Structure 1
């Protein structure tokens, strides 16, 4: 079975290629503003008022009465108050109040948004997140508020960095600047060189699956050049970063797990690869997946089986052939778009609407099978960039049997951000396999000759990366340290801005180089002995580009000063540096002197200058584009309430119950609504239900019956229950809950309700009672049975005891010679069980 991406279905099934991919290039980097001013948004019916200090309570009360104000709360910091306006607009109330002599100022209450989210350069083009009536990329004017309320939702959460969403699609280009920080990293395949060791370190059946897996080609590369535009576009809508570039996603803090199974000339994939991708997502803990793909035809049981057992909220594109998917409910089922049309409770099926709230003319629909709608026409998002001039900037070489060298064509000191500088060393030490070796910093920057001293900066970065201060060896002009000073340590050899070893003119004849001949021999021996080296500095290999050390020992292809001809002001990582991006803009940076460091046959590139591609954005159509709006919203909900990840149907219910009505989809989808991220977040039920026991043994009662049955209820319909008897762990149960064969002792029954949102009653209902099926005993009687005594006024004693309870006189009957003795005439101690009766004279001889 062939499965295709939903953005292409229109072309495949209806022939309307324009609907499948209406592309437009974004503005160039130079044309894009760095900041878009926020439009001020007034909150209707609310104002902030500050009365003058001279105004007493009476004046304030009169002002409120005159203007129809209701005080909501005090703003103690500024001595003002928030008022609700009735009977007029907030603006009118402000005008009137400003005229009053007892008012210092009055101002409308306003919406405030987090800096950054709506400041992305092309945010104004993202009508799906914030529709204020702007034209879409085709020039069609929008209808205000036909959007997912992404900006409003961003004030609540922008997603959790610990939440991963599986994008099951073609690949994802994580070198795109809007996605470079959004790649999920497999912890079992990361650190200590695991990213590239060719070993299945985490035992999941896939080697070096750092960011996901390519099931189409059965390799770890989740992006192939010239491919993967669809998955990259989808991922941008879900999670494009807040980074001052391009666009922003619905949930810009979450991580994307890239699972590629589509591709090739026709963009298709196979059912078996799709099932494997779903299985990988389940195994690696992704509880939400985006599925902008499908096929038109009969239902497939294998695909449904995979989805049903996935444990995921499976967000699926409804299809682009304008079909009525309700044909899936016919008997026998008619052709429909699958997997969206399966009846599985964890599938959330998505139709597409345009910026005016109309159902897209290509979108599949179904009053019984398509759950909700979302923006899907002229949606701007990220796509893989067009190749631009670039060069390898960092390479990892294997030397000898176990030596490792990571060589950078720039200096780590040139990384402007201190956190990223430390991250450079974290990645470097992992790549060379440092393990727990101590680090020695060879400070070979020629600072004695007037070059910048980079030692303190790098020492601080290394300490941040390792938690320990490195040993520092300051190198005087000439040779660096001997092999004995380096052995057993991970070496960071830093040359800073130095370009020779003896303060010559730096244009030399090759006799004075940054690394001397002895240094090169020392490092060759060090690496051949299994040493771990990080070599950093813009001219570390200057004038020795073709030496046996560079080409032989390190196995590199070095070209000096490539920054003269290409953009070498930034670094974009790959392989062991995947997701890393650095601006090389510190006070010691000098771009023209950056070198190309290309790996040979025994090495791998760890990244390039620039992004390796121009940042590109295109506007596309399709239910594929609608689906990630819903996936992103689901990710926001799960970020706010992580417990919901255990019940995907709960997240689905929140999104469906809290959508925004769209009249054009009434009768076309289950809900007649479009997804609303802000309302969905406010619709999360965080209140636990209350549990009550409505039948069963009474509290504190004693019974001789060795069985018990309890009925119970919850204040929330649809709740599930967990029960516990006598301190055992809670386990699922249903009302009534019965127990048999109960021991003779006091028992305690507990029950708690769990509502559909996963909220658990923290104070379970409790009922304690006793089972006592053992008869009371009478012992230690005195006088003893059949004894003969001479005392005609004997003291009669006995021990009267019950199995569980402390008896009272009311529980005891004492007979002497067949006469019932009044309890007033004898004593009984419930604590000692002792009964004492001083008998009056009794007849002799009886």
Structure 2
């Protein structure tokens, strides 16, 4: 081929390439539907076709449109979105969006920041106006078979000292047994009249006198869990006030878990919002979920606990967690060794692993004088304080169920958590619950009476523990 013809051919090819590139720039980028390939270890179970949105402020119509446009570009059929808000309509704007495959949006990489042209700088689970998360399922951390009494009966007849400045403790759990509902320790909503089936305080919740059932969206907070998990939590908290107390106790009952001890992100966030708006001082959260997913689709709950609650002066106390056959099996299949299963730095459990030096999260586990219970999680990076058990049986550390005539024992970091909650609520001055509070202020308070043991400091921060009485 002659040089002149060769140059002409190359010029034509160059023009074709330029035209092709210009055309590509003008065409919208097609985004395929997001798919998930995570194992059960990588991501905890979540409710299909649901996405939880926690708005940083009341969203404008334009912000909602931008979020939906972004979802559409990721393959979500936004015409099928149905929106459900928290029952407590006067609290922070938390919404549950339902649509086929909508939960996959949060795992997009990068997240488009609620727009079609964002850079993804916000990271997963966040945009400029909201946090969002799959509706993860939260369960009570199992430790032993549920063989506890079906009801709270035959209680010790004692006069309880319930004088002093009230400390309001919100229990996010399975509810409260009827035998305890009228014990004089439950918080009473001053703006709500019991039994009139009216929304007296205008928060869209009828008869929320002592709290609310976020599992079934009604005012019935009775504990229908076979093992009465939430009721036992209340007993351990009550016992610390009976043992010694500088304060009066008000239990706010927020039923976030059903009779199967199962709750979810949406109900939990709504319950936390309720606790905030009704001036709780402490939130007891004896539940959680395992996950090996290293990105941060849990940002909404993380931000709420470690930032919002701290700013409001509310202490969040949660359990380190116990062994779980399903989670352990999944982790082993993913390559984790049996020796690492209880190590929270290797086998993450949330919200325990949201803990950090500056946050307001206290994680409690069960210990004896020299060792952490082999059935419960540990890591000095996360676990702030332990509780010495009453007895050790077959390697399991157990507590005697307090305030009951029958001599029964129970084990689990859930109840160690309640003991820490009760001790702090009973003894620490109410003046300590201030904006930007720090957990170390409470943990090191002389009123808590914590001891330290060098033999457990690699598993519990500073080897710190208290004794259950």
Deviation at 1:23, TM superposition (A): 4.1
Q: Note if 1:365 corresponds to 2:359.
A: no
The 3-state SS of whatever aligns with 1:348 is strand
Distance 1:280 1:660 in 2: 35
Q: Note if 1:673 corresponds to 2:464.
A: yes
Deviation at 1:272, TM superposition (A): 0.8
Deviation at 1:224, TM superposition (A): 4.5
Q: Which has the higher helix share?
A: 2
Q: In the TM superposition, what are the counterparts of 1:266-285 in structure 2 within 5 Å? A: 267-285=261-279
Aligned to 1:635: 425
Q: Which has the higher strand share?
A: 1
1:313–1:648 CA contact under 8 A, matched in 2: no
Question: For the structure 1 residues 273 and 26, does the alpha-carbon distance in structure 2 shift closer, same or farther, using more than 3 Å as the test?
Answer: closer
Q: Note if 1:313 corresponds to 2:315.
A: yes
Question: For the structure 1 residues 167 and 159, does the alpha-carbon distance in structure 2 shift closer, same or farther, using more than 3 Å as the test?
Answer: farther
1:24–1:617 CA contact under 8 A, matched in 2: no
Distance 2:406 2:254 in 1: 22
Distance 1:223 1:33 in 2: 21
Q: Note if 1:337 corresponds to 2:349.
A: yes
Deviation at 1:676, TM superposition (A): 6.5
The 3-state SS of whatever aligns with 1:188 is coil
Distance 1:198 1:23 in 2: 34
The 3-state SS of whatever aligns with 1:631 is helix
* Residue number among 236, 239, 255 corresponding to 1:260 in the alignment: 255
Deviation at 1:284, TM superposition (A): 0.5
1:174–1:180 CA contact under 8 A, matched in 2: no
Deviation at 1:677, TM superposition (A): 9.6
Question: For the structure 1 residues 180 and 671, does the alpha-carbon distance in structure 2 shift closer, same or farther, using more than 3 Å as the test?
Answer: same
Q: Note if 1:653 corresponds to 2:444.
A: no
Per-residue CA deviations over 1:352-403 (Å, capped at 9, x if unaligned) read: 114x5531111111111111111453223369xxxxxxxxxxxxxxxxxxxx
Distance 2:278 2:352 in 1: 23
Q: In the TM superposition, what are the counterparts of 1:343-382 in structure 2 within 5 Å? A: 343=355, 345-354=359-368, 356-375=369-388, 377-381=397-401
1:250–1:629 CA contact under 8 A, matched in 2: no
Q: Note if 1:3 corresponds to 2:22.
A: no
Distance 1:617 1:212 in 2: 31
The 3-state SS of whatever aligns with 2:461 is coil
Distance 1:181 1:211 in 2: 11
Q: In the TM superposition, what are the counterparts of 1:612-761 in structure 2 within 5 Å? A: 618-638=408-428, 641-647=429-435, 649-650=437-438, 652-656=440-444, 659-675=450-466
Q: Note if 1:219 corresponds to 2:222.
A: no
1:287–1:648 CA contact under 8 A, matched in 2: no
Distance 1:223 1:28 in 2: 15
TM-score (norm 1): 0.32
Per-residue CA deviations over 1:13-46 (Å, capped at 9, x if unaligned) read: xxxx35xx464799995xx9979xxxxxxxxxxx
Question: For the structure 1 residues 240 and 253, does the alpha-carbon distance in structure 2 shift closer, same or farther, using more than 3 Å as the test?
Answer: farther
Deviation at 1:206, TM superposition (A): 1.6
Aligned to 2:280: 286
The 3-state SS of whatever aligns with 1:258 is strand
Between 1 and 2, higher relative CO (CA 8 Å, sep ≥ 6) is seen in: 2
Q: Note if 1:186 corresponds to 2:198.
A: no
1:237–1:249 CA contact under 8 A, matched in 2: no
Question: For the structure 1 residues 323 and 164, does the alpha-carbon distance in structure 2 shift closer, same or farther, using more than 3 Å as the test?
Answer: same
Question: For the structure 1 residues 617 and 274, does the alpha-carbon distance in structure 2 shift closer, same or farther, using more than 3 Å as the test?
Answer: farther
Structure 1 vs Structure 2 CA RMSD: 3.4
Unaligned runs of 5+ in 2: 1-135, 324-340, 390-396
Question: For the structure 1 residues 234 and 28, does the alpha-carbon distance in structure 2 shift closer, same or farther, using more than 3 Å as the test?
Answer: closer
The 3-state SS of whatever aligns with 2:441 is helix
Poorly superposed stretches of 4+, deviation over 3 Å: 21-29, 32-35, 157-161, 224-228, 248-253, 614-618, 647-652, 675-678
2:147–2:227 CA contact under 8 A, matched in 1: no
Question: For the structure 1 residues 250 and 281, does the alpha-carbon distance in structure 2 shift closer, same or farther, using more than 3 Å as the test?
Answer: farther
Deviation at 1:213, TM superposition (A): 0.5
The 3-state SS of whatever aligns with 1:167 is strand
Aligned to 1:168: 172
Aligned to 2:393: none
Distance 2:163 2:218 in 1: 29
Distance 2:265 2:222 in 1: 20
Distance 2:156 2:185 in 1: 23
Aligned to 2:43: none
Per-residue CA deviations over 1:179-233 (Å, capped at 9, x if unaligned) read: 72211111111xxxx2122222122332110010000000011104465711100
Aligned to 2:40: none
Q: Note if 1:198 corresponds to 2:197.
A: yes
Q: Note if 1:232 corresponds to 2:246.
A: no
Deviation at 1:235, TM superposition (A): 0.6
Deviation at 1:615, TM superposition (A): 7.6
Aligned to 1:463: none
Question: For the structure 1 residues 296 and 656, does the alpha-carbon distance in structure 2 shift closer, same or farther, using more than 3 Å as the test?
Answer: farther
Per-residue CA deviations over 1:717-747 (Å, capped at 9, x if unaligned) read: xxxxxxxxxxxxxxxxxxxxxxxxxxxxxxx
Distance 2:151 2:210 in 1: 27
Question: For the structure 1 residues 259 and 655, does the alpha-carbon distance in structure 2 shift closer, same or farther, using more than 3 Å as the test?
Answer: same
Aligned to 2:82: none
The 3-state SS of whatever aligns with 1:309 is helix
Q: In the TM superposition, what are the counterparts of 1:815-830 in structure 2 within 5 Å? A: none
Distance 1:661 1:350 in 2: 14
Distance 1:218 1:33 in 2: 33
Unaligned runs of 5+ in 1: 11-16, 36-115, 118-156, 243-247, 328-334, 384-613, 679-846
Distance 1:370 1:158 in 2: 31
Distance 1:23 1:637 in 2: 29
1:655–1:675 CA contact under 8 A, matched in 2: no
1:171–1:232 CA contact under 8 A, matched in 2: yes
The 3-state SS of whatever aligns with 2:200 is coil
